[in-house]
Amino acid sequence: MNILKELENRLKKDSNDPAGKIFHRLVGALCCDGEFKLTEIYELNYDDFELSLEIIKHWRLDRYTKTKERLQKLVSVSTN
């Protein structure tokens, strides 16, 4: 599955889920050049931990493409 689609599904899953909040902070930090404590991803279960690493990897590869804009939209949609 596309990493962004998987992230989108994960963020929509449960707004009170602690893992979802970690993903939200991670994506917000990546998109807005903010700070994020990497130790937070160690609190995630294995599948979510792997997803967070994939998000970071894909963000690094795609940071100058439309992907960054789509991630920003995901963060803003999940807070509304």
- The CA distance from 34 to 13, in Å, is 24
Q: Global pTM?
A: 0.73
Q: pLDDT tens string for the chain (80 positions)?
A: 588 788 888 888 777 889 989 998 998 898 888 899 999 999 999 999 999 999 888 887 766 666 667 667 767 755 55
Is residue 20 within 8 Å of residue 11, measured between CB atoms?
yes
Is residue 38 within 8 Å of residue 46, measured between CB atoms?
no
- For residue 21, what are the contacts with CB-CB under 8 A and spacing of at least 6? none
Where do the domains of the chain lie?
Answer: 3-11+20-79
- The CA distance from 70 to 68, in Å, is 5
Tokens of 13: 């899953």
